[in-house]
Structure 1
Amino acid sequence: MQLKKGLIRIGLPPVIGSVFFPRILAGFRAKHPHIDFDLVEEGANKVESLLLEGALDMGVVVSPVDPESFDTLPFLYQQLALVIHESHPLAAQPSVRLEELRGEPFVLFPRGFAVRRHVMRACRDLGFEPSIVYESSQWDLLAEMVAARVGVSIIPQAICSKITNPDVRTLALTDPVIPWNLEVIWPKSKYVSYAMREFQAYIREVSGPQP
Protein backbone atom coordinates (compact mmCIF):
# COMPACT_ATOMS: atom_id res chain seq x y z
CA MET A 1 0.00 0.00 0.00
CA GLN A 2 1.35 3.42 -0.94
CA LEU A 3 1.84 5.72 2.05
CA LYS A 4 0.19 9.11 1.99
CA LYS A 5 2.70 11.92 1.83
CA GLY A 6 2.40 15.47 3.03
CA LEU A 7 4.11 18.74 3.89
CA ILE A 8 3.31 21.07 6.76
CA ARG A 9 4.61 24.64 6.66
CA ILE A 10 4.79 25.53 10.33
CA GLY A 11 5.90 28.71 12.07
CA LEU A 12 7.18 28.96 15.61
CA PRO A 13 9.14 31.42 17.74
CA PRO A 14 12.83 30.51 18.21
CA VAL A 15 12.38 29.91 21.95
CA ILE A 16 9.77 27.23 21.19
CA GLY A 17 11.75 25.74 18.33
CA SER A 18 14.92 25.23 20.32
CA VAL A 19 13.33 23.80 23.46
CA PHE A 20 10.20 21.86 22.55
CA PHE A 21 9.87 21.21 18.87
CA PRO A 22 12.80 18.81 18.24
CA ARG A 23 11.27 16.24 20.60
CA ILE A 24 7.78 16.65 19.13
CA LEU A 25 9.06 16.51 15.56
CA ALA A 26 11.15 13.40 16.24
CA GLY A 27 8.20 11.59 17.80
CA PHE A 28 5.83 12.52 15.00
CA ARG A 29 8.32 11.63 12.25
CA ALA A 30 8.86 8.21 13.83
CA LYS A 31 5.16 7.51 13.30
CA HIS A 32 4.78 9.43 10.01
CA PRO A 33 8.10 9.40 8.11
CA HIS A 34 6.25 10.34 4.92
CA ILE A 35 5.16 13.75 6.26
CA ASP A 36 7.74 16.54 6.01
CA PHE A 37 7.98 19.93 7.72
CA ASP A 38 9.05 23.31 6.43
CA LEU A 39 9.99 25.25 9.58
CA VAL A 40 9.90 29.04 9.79
CA GLU A 41 11.23 30.68 12.97
CA GLU A 42 9.62 34.04 13.72
CA GLY A 43 8.12 35.86 16.69
CA ALA A 44 4.53 35.01 17.57
CA ASN A 45 3.06 38.15 15.97
CA LYS A 46 4.81 37.41 12.67
CA VAL A 47 3.72 33.76 12.76
CA GLU A 48 0.09 34.84 13.09
CA SER A 49 0.46 37.29 10.18
CA LEU A 50 2.04 34.64 7.93
CA LEU A 51 -0.78 32.23 8.75
CA LEU A 52 -3.43 34.76 7.76
CA GLU A 53 -1.51 35.54 4.56
CA GLY A 54 -1.49 31.85 3.62
CA ALA A 55 2.31 31.57 3.79
CA LEU A 56 2.08 28.98 6.61
CA ASP A 57 -0.25 26.08 7.36
CA MET A 58 0.09 25.97 11.14
CA GLY A 59 1.84 27.80 13.94
CA VAL A 60 2.93 27.15 17.51
CA VAL A 61 2.40 30.22 19.68
CA VAL A 62 1.70 31.33 23.22
CA SER A 63 -1.98 31.71 24.07
CA PRO A 64 -4.24 33.55 23.80
CA VAL A 65 -4.84 34.29 20.12
CA ASP A 66 -7.82 35.84 18.34
CA PRO A 67 -10.58 33.17 18.48
CA GLU A 68 -12.32 34.79 15.51
CA SER A 69 -9.28 34.18 13.28
CA PHE A 70 -7.77 30.91 14.49
CA ASP A 71 -8.68 27.41 15.55
CA THR A 72 -6.47 26.25 18.41
CA LEU A 73 -5.15 23.09 20.00
CA PRO A 74 -3.55 23.66 23.45
CA PHE A 75 -0.71 21.31 24.34
CA LEU A 76 1.61 22.73 27.03
CA TYR A 77 0.88 24.60 30.26
CA GLN A 78 3.73 26.37 32.05
CA GLN A 79 4.70 29.65 33.73
CA LEU A 80 7.34 32.32 33.30
CA ALA A 81 10.20 32.37 35.81
CA LEU A 82 12.74 34.91 37.04
CA VAL A 83 16.42 34.63 36.07
CA ILE A 84 18.66 36.56 38.45
CA HIS A 85 22.34 36.78 39.43
CA GLU A 86 23.17 34.61 42.43
CA SER A 87 24.58 37.63 44.32
CA HIS A 88 21.39 39.68 43.96
CA PRO A 89 19.63 40.29 47.31
CA LEU A 90 16.44 38.68 45.97
CA ALA A 91 18.28 35.50 44.98
CA ALA A 92 18.09 34.14 48.54
CA GLN A 93 14.29 34.01 48.40
CA PRO A 94 12.38 30.91 47.26
CA SER A 95 10.15 33.10 45.09
CA VAL A 96 9.86 36.74 44.06
CA ARG A 97 6.82 38.96 43.69
CA LEU A 98 6.81 40.85 40.40
CA GLU A 99 6.38 44.10 42.34
CA GLU A 100 9.83 43.52 43.89
CA LEU A 101 11.38 43.95 40.43
CA ARG A 102 10.18 47.54 40.11
CA GLY A 103 13.24 49.65 39.27
CA GLU A 104 15.39 46.69 38.22
CA PRO A 105 17.07 46.71 34.77
CA PHE A 106 15.54 44.01 32.54
CA VAL A 107 17.02 41.96 29.71
CA LEU A 108 14.13 40.58 27.65
CA PHE A 109 13.06 39.06 24.37
CA PRO A 110 12.38 41.68 21.64
CA ARG A 111 9.05 43.14 20.56
CA GLY A 112 6.96 40.62 18.66
CA PHE A 113 7.70 37.84 21.17
CA ALA A 114 4.78 36.69 23.30
CA VAL A 115 7.01 36.37 26.39
CA ARG A 116 7.84 40.08 26.12
CA ARG A 117 4.17 40.99 25.66
CA HIS A 118 3.08 39.00 28.73
CA VAL A 119 5.83 40.49 30.92
CA MET A 120 5.04 44.05 29.83
CA ARG A 121 1.33 43.59 30.48
CA ALA A 122 1.91 42.12 33.95
CA CYS A 123 4.25 44.96 34.95
CA ARG A 124 1.88 47.62 33.66
CA ASP A 125 -0.99 46.04 35.55
CA LEU A 126 1.09 46.67 38.70
CA GLY A 127 1.66 50.28 37.69
CA PHE A 128 5.25 50.28 36.46
CA GLU A 129 7.09 50.22 33.16
CA PRO A 130 10.05 47.81 33.14
CA SER A 131 13.40 49.40 32.29
CA ILE A 132 14.68 47.29 29.39
CA VAL A 133 18.44 47.68 28.91
CA TYR A 134 19.10 44.76 26.55
CA GLU A 135 17.10 42.64 24.10
CA SER A 136 17.85 39.33 22.40
CA SER A 137 15.86 36.60 20.68
CA GLN A 138 18.26 34.00 22.17
CA TRP A 139 17.44 32.75 25.67
CA ASP A 140 21.03 31.62 26.33
CA LEU A 141 22.33 35.11 25.58
CA LEU A 142 19.78 36.60 27.97
CA ALA A 143 21.03 34.21 30.65
CA GLU A 144 24.63 35.28 30.02
CA MET A 145 23.61 38.93 30.32
CA VAL A 146 22.14 38.11 33.73
CA ALA A 147 25.38 36.33 34.67
CA ALA A 148 27.26 39.50 33.67
CA ARG A 149 25.00 41.53 36.01
CA VAL A 150 23.47 43.51 33.14
CA GLY A 151 19.96 42.94 34.51
CA VAL A 152 17.30 40.41 35.46
CA SER A 153 15.28 38.40 32.97
CA ILE A 154 11.95 36.59 32.78
CA ILE A 155 11.79 33.50 30.58
CA PRO A 156 9.71 30.31 30.25
CA GLN A 157 10.06 27.85 33.11
CA ALA A 158 11.05 25.00 30.80
CA ILE A 159 14.12 26.88 29.58
CA CYS A 160 15.43 27.48 33.09
CA SER A 161 16.57 23.86 33.43
CA LYS A 162 18.87 24.41 30.44
CA ILE A 163 20.77 27.29 32.06
CA THR A 164 24.08 25.92 33.35
CA ASN A 165 25.94 29.08 34.40
CA PRO A 166 26.60 28.78 38.17
CA ASP A 167 26.31 32.56 38.61
CA VAL A 168 22.62 32.47 37.71
CA ARG A 169 19.61 31.44 39.77
CA THR A 170 16.05 30.85 38.58
CA LEU A 171 13.15 31.59 40.90
CA ALA A 172 9.38 31.27 40.79
CA LEU A 173 7.49 34.48 40.04
CA THR A 174 4.37 35.26 42.07
CA ASP A 175 1.76 37.98 42.43
CA PRO A 176 1.03 37.49 39.64
CA VAL A 177 1.98 34.13 38.24
CA ILE A 178 2.48 34.75 34.51
CA PRO A 179 1.22 31.80 32.44
CA TRP A 180 3.07 30.57 29.37
CA ASN A 181 0.70 28.20 27.62
CA LEU A 182 1.45 26.92 24.13
CA GLU A 183 -1.03 26.00 21.45
CA VAL A 184 -0.99 24.90 17.84
CA ILE A 185 -3.06 27.27 15.69
CA TRP A 186 -4.31 27.46 12.10
CA PRO A 187 -6.64 29.90 10.30
CA LYS A 188 -10.34 29.12 10.60
CA SER A 189 -10.70 29.57 6.85
CA LYS A 190 -7.92 27.12 5.95
CA TYR A 191 -8.49 23.67 4.47
CA VAL A 192 -7.14 21.07 6.92
CA SER A 193 -5.00 18.63 4.93
CA TYR A 194 -4.30 14.99 5.72
CA ALA A 195 -0.85 15.93 7.09
CA MET A 196 -2.33 18.62 9.33
CA ARG A 197 -4.98 16.22 10.68
CA GLU A 198 -2.33 13.65 11.54
CA PHE A 199 -0.20 16.26 13.31
CA GLN A 200 -3.21 17.53 15.27
CA ALA A 201 -3.97 13.96 16.36
CA TYR A 202 -0.37 13.50 17.51
CA ILE A 203 -0.41 16.74 19.51
CA ARG A 204 -3.59 15.59 21.27
CA GLU A 205 -1.85 12.30 22.06
CA VAL A 206 1.26 13.84 23.65
CA SER A 207 -0.11 17.03 25.20
CA GLY A 208 -0.11 17.42 28.96
CA PRO A 209 -3.25 17.68 31.08
CA GLN A 210 -5.02 21.03 31.14
CA PRO A 211 -4.70 22.81 34.50
Structure 2
Amino acid sequence: MNIKDLNVFITVAETKHLTNASKLLYMTPQGVSKIIKNLESECDCELFVRTGNGMELSECGKHFLEYAIKAKSEYHDMRNEILRIKQKERGVVDLLSAFGILRLVTPECIMDFRRKYPEIEFSYRECPDKQIERWFLAGEGNVAFSLAPCDEDVYEVLELESFEVKLLVNKKNPLSRKSSVTIEDLRYEPLYIESREFKIHDLIVNRCRDAGFEPKIVFETSGFSLCHKMVRENKGISVTVDFVSDDMGHDDLVLLPFSDGRYEWTICMLTRKNEVVGNGVDIFQKHVKDWMDRIREGNIKR
Protein backbone atom coordinates (compact mmCIF):
# COMPACT_ATOMS: atom_id res chain seq x y z
CA MET A 1 0.00 0.00 0.00
CA ASN A 2 1.05 3.62 -0.46
CA ILE A 3 -0.15 7.04 0.70
CA LYS A 4 -2.50 7.37 -2.30
CA ASP A 5 -4.16 4.07 -1.38
CA LEU A 6 -4.62 5.30 2.19
CA ASN A 7 -6.16 8.53 0.92
CA VAL A 8 -8.65 6.51 -1.14
CA PHE A 9 -9.53 4.42 1.93
CA ILE A 10 -10.01 7.52 4.11
CA THR A 11 -12.24 9.16 1.47
CA VAL A 12 -14.45 6.06 1.20
CA ALA A 13 -14.64 5.90 5.01
CA GLU A 14 -15.72 9.55 5.15
CA THR A 15 -18.27 9.41 2.31
CA LYS A 16 -19.43 5.83 3.00
CA HIS A 17 -20.02 5.37 -0.71
CA LEU A 18 -17.79 4.33 -3.62
CA THR A 19 -19.45 6.64 -6.14
CA ASN A 20 -19.28 9.72 -3.90
CA ALA A 21 -15.66 8.95 -3.05
CA SER A 22 -14.77 8.47 -6.72
CA LYS A 23 -16.13 11.94 -7.57
CA LEU A 24 -13.99 13.58 -4.90
CA LEU A 25 -10.93 11.58 -5.95
CA TYR A 26 -11.46 12.04 -9.72
CA MET A 27 -11.35 8.28 -10.21
CA THR A 28 -13.78 5.71 -11.52
CA PRO A 29 -15.82 3.75 -8.94
CA GLN A 30 -14.16 0.63 -10.33
CA GLY A 31 -10.73 2.09 -9.65
CA VAL A 32 -11.68 2.99 -6.07
CA SER A 33 -13.17 -0.47 -5.52
CA LYS A 34 -10.00 -2.16 -6.79
CA ILE A 35 -7.82 -0.22 -4.34
CA ILE A 36 -10.12 -1.10 -1.42
CA LYS A 37 -10.06 -4.78 -2.40
CA ASN A 38 -6.26 -4.71 -2.67
CA LEU A 39 -6.01 -3.16 0.80
CA GLU A 40 -8.36 -5.80 2.21
CA SER A 41 -6.31 -8.53 0.56
CA GLU A 42 -3.07 -7.08 1.94
CA CYS A 43 -4.55 -6.78 5.45
CA ASP A 44 -6.30 -10.16 5.14
CA CYS A 45 -9.58 -8.77 6.49
CA GLU A 46 -12.70 -6.91 5.45
CA LEU A 47 -12.29 -3.18 6.00
CA PHE A 48 -15.86 -2.34 5.02
CA VAL A 49 -19.24 -3.94 5.42
CA ARG A 50 -21.22 -3.48 2.21
CA THR A 51 -24.82 -2.44 2.88
CA GLY A 52 -27.72 -1.36 0.73
CA ASN A 53 -26.98 2.26 1.68
CA GLY A 54 -23.25 2.17 0.99
CA MET A 55 -20.09 1.26 2.91
CA GLU A 56 -19.73 1.00 6.69
CA LEU A 57 -16.41 0.43 8.42
CA SER A 58 -15.90 -3.02 9.90
CA GLU A 59 -14.23 -3.40 13.29
CA CYS A 60 -10.91 -3.93 11.49
CA GLY A 61 -11.69 -0.95 9.27
CA LYS A 62 -12.18 1.34 12.27
CA HIS A 63 -8.72 0.47 13.60
CA PHE A 64 -7.21 0.73 10.11
CA LEU A 65 -8.73 4.22 9.73
CA GLU A 66 -6.94 5.45 12.86
CA TYR A 67 -3.58 4.33 11.50
CA ALA A 68 -4.38 5.59 7.98
CA ILE A 69 -5.18 9.09 9.24
CA LYS A 70 -2.03 9.11 11.36
CA ALA A 71 0.10 7.88 8.44
CA LYS A 72 -1.39 10.49 6.09
CA SER A 73 -0.75 13.26 8.61
CA GLU A 74 2.84 12.13 9.19
CA TYR A 75 3.39 11.89 5.43
CA HIS A 76 2.23 15.46 4.90
CA ASP A 77 4.36 16.64 7.82
CA MET A 78 7.35 14.94 6.23
CA ARG A 79 6.57 16.44 2.80
CA ASN A 80 6.20 19.91 4.29
CA GLU A 81 9.45 19.62 6.23
CA ILE A 82 11.32 18.49 3.11
CA LEU A 83 9.71 21.35 1.17
CA ARG A 84 10.84 23.85 3.82
CA ILE A 85 14.38 22.49 3.61
CA LYS A 86 14.33 22.69 -0.20
CA GLN A 87 12.99 26.24 -0.03
CA LYS A 88 15.95 27.24 2.12
CA GLU A 89 18.41 25.50 -0.19
CA ARG A 90 16.85 26.66 -3.44
CA GLY A 91 13.63 28.24 -4.71
CA VAL A 92 10.59 25.96 -4.99
CA VAL A 93 7.14 26.82 -6.36
CA ASP A 94 4.53 24.07 -6.08
CA LEU A 95 1.44 25.74 -7.55
CA LEU A 96 -2.12 24.47 -7.19
CA SER A 97 -4.51 26.18 -9.61
CA ALA A 98 -8.27 26.07 -10.04
CA PHE A 99 -9.43 25.34 -13.57
CA GLY A 100 -9.76 28.48 -15.69
CA ILE A 101 -7.32 30.67 -13.79
CA LEU A 102 -4.25 29.84 -15.88
CA ARG A 103 -6.36 30.78 -18.91
CA LEU A 104 -6.74 34.19 -17.26
CA VAL A 105 -3.19 34.61 -15.99
CA THR A 106 -2.06 33.13 -19.36
CA PRO A 107 0.37 30.27 -19.96
CA GLU A 108 2.89 32.87 -21.15
CA CYS A 109 3.11 34.15 -17.56
CA ILE A 110 4.27 30.72 -16.40
CA MET A 111 6.59 30.29 -19.39
CA ASP A 112 8.15 33.71 -18.76
CA PHE A 113 8.66 32.88 -15.08
CA ARG A 114 10.43 29.63 -15.93
CA ARG A 115 12.62 31.39 -18.49
CA LYS A 116 13.64 34.17 -16.09
CA TYR A 117 14.17 31.93 -13.06
CA PRO A 118 15.46 28.54 -14.29
CA GLU A 119 17.05 27.95 -10.89
CA ILE A 120 13.61 27.85 -9.21
CA GLU A 121 11.99 24.41 -9.17
CA PHE A 122 8.46 24.86 -10.55
CA SER A 123 5.46 22.50 -10.80
CA TYR A 124 1.72 22.95 -11.00
CA ARG A 125 -1.53 21.00 -10.83
CA GLU A 126 -5.04 22.01 -11.90
CA CYS A 127 -8.45 20.89 -10.66
CA PRO A 128 -11.75 22.48 -9.45
CA ASP A 129 -11.42 25.27 -6.90
CA LYS A 130 -12.94 23.37 -3.95
CA GLN A 131 -10.51 20.49 -4.47
CA ILE A 132 -7.63 22.96 -4.70
CA GLU A 133 -8.50 24.36 -1.29
CA ARG A 134 -8.91 20.89 0.24
CA TRP A 135 -5.43 19.97 -1.02
CA PHE A 136 -3.93 23.27 0.09
CA LEU A 137 -5.51 23.02 3.54
CA ALA A 138 -4.07 19.50 3.85
CA GLY A 139 -0.57 20.82 3.19
CA GLU A 140 -0.22 20.18 -0.54
CA GLY A 141 1.58 22.87 -2.57
CA ASN A 142 3.00 26.15 -1.28
CA VAL A 143 0.98 28.64 -3.33
CA ALA A 144 -2.49 28.38 -4.86
CA PHE A 145 -4.82 30.10 -7.30
CA SER A 146 -8.43 29.82 -6.21
CA LEU A 147 -11.67 31.80 -6.24
CA ALA A 148 -13.25 34.02 -3.62
CA PRO A 149 -14.52 33.64 -1.00
CA CYS A 150 -11.43 32.21 0.72
CA ASP A 151 -10.94 31.70 4.45
CA GLU A 152 -8.81 34.65 5.53
CA ASP A 153 -8.31 33.08 8.96
CA VAL A 154 -6.37 30.29 7.25
CA TYR A 155 -4.85 31.94 4.17
CA GLU A 156 -3.04 35.08 3.17
CA VAL A 157 -5.31 36.17 0.32
CA LEU A 158 -4.25 38.41 -2.54
CA GLU A 159 -7.05 39.28 -4.95
CA LEU A 160 -5.71 39.43 -8.51
CA GLU A 161 -8.74 40.30 -10.61
CA SER A 162 -12.51 40.16 -10.57
CA PHE A 163 -14.93 39.47 -13.40
CA GLU A 164 -18.67 39.87 -13.61
CA VAL A 165 -20.53 36.56 -13.91
CA LYS A 166 -23.07 36.83 -16.73
CA LEU A 167 -25.85 34.73 -18.19
CA LEU A 168 -24.95 33.02 -21.47
CA VAL A 169 -27.82 32.45 -23.92
CA ASN A 170 -28.27 31.61 -27.57
CA LYS A 171 -29.54 34.42 -29.83
CA LYS A 172 -32.59 32.26 -30.54
CA ASN A 173 -33.54 32.27 -26.86
CA PRO A 174 -36.11 35.02 -26.05
CA LEU A 175 -33.91 36.11 -23.14
CA SER A 176 -31.34 37.35 -25.66
CA ARG A 177 -33.60 40.34 -26.38
CA LYS A 178 -33.14 41.63 -22.85
CA SER A 179 -30.41 44.09 -21.92
CA SER A 180 -30.02 42.47 -18.49
CA VAL A 181 -31.52 39.65 -16.46
CA THR A 182 -32.32 38.72 -12.87
CA ILE A 183 -31.97 35.37 -11.18
CA GLU A 184 -35.72 34.91 -11.65
CA ASP A 185 -35.12 34.57 -15.40
CA LEU A 186 -33.44 31.21 -14.71
CA ARG A 187 -36.51 29.68 -13.06
CA TYR A 188 -37.78 27.63 -16.01
CA GLU A 189 -34.67 27.53 -18.21
CA PRO A 190 -32.60 24.33 -18.64
CA LEU A 191 -29.25 25.17 -17.07
CA TYR A 192 -25.80 23.80 -17.92
CA ILE A 193 -23.35 24.64 -15.14
CA GLU A 194 -20.03 23.72 -13.57
CA SER A 195 -20.26 20.96 -10.96
CA ARG A 196 -20.61 21.28 -7.19
CA GLU A 197 -16.80 21.31 -6.96
CA PHE A 198 -16.84 24.86 -8.38
CA LYS A 199 -17.79 27.95 -6.39
CA ILE A 200 -19.64 29.44 -9.36
CA HIS A 201 -22.10 26.55 -8.96
CA ASP A 202 -22.77 27.57 -5.35
CA LEU A 203 -23.13 31.23 -6.34
CA ILE A 204 -25.92 30.55 -8.85
CA VAL A 205 -27.71 27.79 -6.94
CA ASN A 206 -27.75 29.80 -3.72
CA ARG A 207 -29.10 32.88 -5.51
CA CYS A 208 -31.88 30.76 -7.03
CA ARG A 209 -32.76 29.30 -3.63
CA ASP A 210 -32.81 32.77 -2.10
CA ALA A 211 -35.34 33.67 -4.80
CA GLY A 212 -37.49 30.69 -3.80
CA PHE A 213 -36.80 28.07 -6.47
CA GLU A 214 -34.40 25.30 -7.47
CA PRO A 215 -32.60 25.89 -10.78
CA LYS A 216 -33.44 23.45 -13.56
CA ILE A 217 -29.95 21.95 -13.85
CA VAL A 218 -29.86 19.48 -16.73
CA PHE A 219 -26.12 18.78 -16.68
CA GLU A 220 -23.07 19.54 -14.52
CA THR A 221 -19.59 19.55 -16.01
CA SER A 222 -15.99 20.28 -15.07
CA GLY A 223 -15.37 23.09 -17.52
CA PHE A 224 -16.78 26.13 -19.27
CA SER A 225 -16.33 24.75 -22.80
CA LEU A 226 -19.09 22.12 -22.66
CA CYS A 227 -21.51 24.69 -21.26
CA HIS A 228 -20.74 26.97 -24.21
CA LYS A 229 -21.26 24.10 -26.63
CA MET A 230 -24.71 23.29 -25.23
CA VAL A 231 -25.77 26.94 -25.33
CA ARG A 232 -24.43 27.26 -28.87
CA GLU A 233 -26.72 24.37 -29.82
CA ASN A 234 -29.58 26.19 -28.03
CA LYS A 235 -30.15 23.32 -25.61
CA GLY A 236 -30.16 25.58 -22.57
CA ILE A 237 -28.47 28.48 -20.82
CA SER A 238 -25.31 28.80 -18.73
CA VAL A 239 -23.23 31.32 -16.79
CA THR A 240 -19.72 32.45 -17.61
CA VAL A 241 -17.34 35.42 -17.56
CA ASP A 242 -16.25 37.69 -20.40
CA PHE A 243 -12.71 36.48 -20.95
CA VAL A 244 -13.83 32.85 -21.26
CA SER A 245 -16.65 33.73 -23.64
CA ASP A 246 -14.29 35.87 -25.72
CA ASP A 247 -11.97 32.89 -26.08
CA MET A 248 -14.86 30.76 -27.35
CA GLY A 249 -15.68 33.41 -29.96
CA HIS A 250 -19.16 32.48 -31.24
CA ASP A 251 -21.41 35.13 -32.78
CA ASP A 252 -24.58 33.18 -31.98
CA LEU A 253 -24.15 33.62 -28.21
CA VAL A 254 -25.16 36.58 -26.05
CA LEU A 255 -23.82 37.55 -22.62
CA LEU A 256 -26.30 39.28 -20.31
CA PRO A 257 -25.39 41.01 -17.03
CA PHE A 258 -27.42 40.41 -13.89
CA SER A 259 -29.20 43.50 -12.62
CA ASP A 260 -30.24 42.17 -9.20
CA GLY A 261 -26.94 42.18 -7.35
CA ARG A 262 -23.23 41.42 -7.60
CA TYR A 263 -22.30 38.20 -9.37
CA GLU A 264 -18.51 38.03 -9.35
CA TRP A 265 -15.75 35.55 -10.27
CA THR A 266 -12.78 36.79 -8.27
CA ILE A 267 -9.42 35.05 -8.54
CA CYS A 268 -7.09 35.01 -5.57
CA MET A 269 -3.51 33.93 -4.91
CA LEU A 270 -3.18 32.08 -1.61
CA THR A 271 -0.41 31.21 0.79
CA ARG A 272 -0.93 29.64 4.20
CA LYS A 273 -0.85 31.86 7.29
CA ASN A 274 1.85 31.17 9.86
CA GLU A 275 3.96 29.44 7.21
CA VAL A 276 7.23 30.89 5.98
CA VAL A 277 6.97 31.78 2.29
CA GLY A 278 10.12 30.65 0.53
CA ASN A 279 12.13 32.86 -1.79
CA GLY A 280 10.73 31.05 -4.85
CA VAL A 281 7.11 31.73 -3.89
CA ASP A 282 7.92 35.35 -3.06
CA ILE A 283 9.49 35.86 -6.51
CA PHE A 284 6.57 34.03 -8.17
CA GLN A 285 3.96 36.21 -6.43
CA LYS A 286 5.73 39.39 -7.53
CA HIS A 287 6.04 38.04 -11.07
CA VAL A 288 2.30 37.23 -11.29
CA LYS A 289 1.27 40.61 -9.84
CA ASP A 290 3.52 42.43 -12.32
CA TRP A 291 2.21 40.31 -15.20
CA MET A 292 -1.42 41.06 -14.32
CA ASP A 293 -0.62 44.79 -14.06
CA ARG A 294 0.93 44.68 -17.55
CA ILE A 295 -2.20 42.97 -18.92
CA ARG A 296 -4.44 45.66 -17.39
CA GLU A 297 -2.18 48.40 -18.80
CA GLY A 298 -2.42 46.84 -22.25
CA ASN A 299 1.27 45.97 -22.48
CA ILE A 300 0.45 42.26 -22.70
CA LYS A 301 -2.48 40.86 -24.65
CA ARG A 302 -4.46 38.14 -22.94
TM-score, normalized by length of structure 2?
0.63
Could you say which structure has the higher helix fraction? 2
Aligned to 2:174: 89
Q: Which runs of 5+ in 2 are unaligned?
A: 1-88, 297-302
Query: Which deviations, in whole Å up to 9, do the C-alpha atoms of 1:119-165 show, x marking residues without a partner?
Result: 22222222222111011112111101111222100012221111223
Note the C-alpha offset of 1:110: 0.7
SS of 2:249's partner is coil
Aligned to 2:105: 20
Q: C-alpha separation between the residues in 1 aligned to 2:126 and 2:194?
A: 14
Note the C-alpha offset of 1:192: 0.6
Aligned to 2:94: 9
Note the C-alpha offset of 1:114: 1.5
Q: Which range moved further: 191-200 or 24-33? A: 24-33
Match of 1:162 among 247, 261, 266: 247
Relative distance call for 1:182 and 1:68 in structure 2 (3 A) is: same
Query: Which deviations, in whole Å up to 9, do the C-alpha atoms of 1:60-101 show, x marking residues without a partner?
Result: 111111111111111112111111011011102222222222
Relative distance call for 1:201 and 1:116 in structure 2 (3 A) is: same
Amino acid in structure 1 at the alignment position of 2:260: D
Q: Which range moved further: 159-168 or 140-149? A: 159-168
Relative distance call for 1:95 and 1:30 in structure 2 (3 A) is: farther
Q: C-alpha separation between the residues in 1 aligned to 2:198 and 2:188?
A: 22
Query: Which deviations, in whole Å up to 9, do the C-alpha atoms of 1:20-67 show, x marking residues without a partner?
Result: 341432343344333343111111111111112212111111111111
Q: Which range moved further: 7-16 or 104-113? A: 7-16
Q: Does 1:192 align with 2:277?
A: yes
How many pairs align? 206
Q: Which of these two proteins has the greater Rg computed from alpha carbons?
A: 2
Q: Does 1:125 align with 2:221?
A: no
Match of 2:196 among 108, 111, 119: 111
Amino acid in structure 2 at the alignment position of 1:166: D
Q: Does 1:78 align with 2:78?
A: no
Could you say which structure has the higher strand fraction? 1
Amino acid in structure 1 at the alignment position of 2:241: P
Give the conservation status (yes or no) of the 8 Å contact 2:105–2:292: no
Relative distance call for 1:61 and 1:87 in structure 2 (3 A) is: same
Match of 1:38 among 115, 123, 135: 123
Q: Which runs of 5+ in 1 are unaligned?
A: none
Amino acid in structure 1 at the alignment position of 2:224: W
TM-score, normalized by length of structure 1?
0.88
Match of 2:152 among 48, 58, 67: 67
Q: C-alpha separation between the residues in 2 aligned to 1:77 and 1:194?
A: 27
Q: C-alpha separation between the residues in 2 aligned to 1:94 and 1:34?
A: 51
Q: Displaced runs of 4+ in structure 1, greater than 4 A?
A: none
SS of 1:190's partner is coil
Root mean square deviation, CA, Å: 2.0
Match of 2:259 among 162, 174, 196: 174
Q: Does 1:202 align with 2:268?
A: no
Q: C-alpha separation between the residues in 1 aligned to 2:194 and 2:241?
A: 11
Amino acid in structure 1 at the alignment position of 2:268: E
Give the conservation status (yes or no) of the 8 Å contact 1:122–1:178: no
Q: Does 1:183 align with 2:285?
A: no
Q: C-alpha separation between the residues in 2 aligned to 1:44 and 1:199?
A: 20
Amino acid in structure 1 at the alignment position of 2:181: V
Note the C-alpha offset of 1:178: 0.2
Q: Which range moved further: 122-131 or 135-144? A: 122-131
SS of 2:153's partner is coil
Aligned to 1:139: 224
Relative distance call for 1:49 and 1:30 in structure 2 (3 A) is: same
Give the conservation status (yes or no) of the 8 Å contact 2:156–2:273: yes
Q: C-alpha separation between the residues in 2 aligned to 1:19 and 1:77?
A: 11
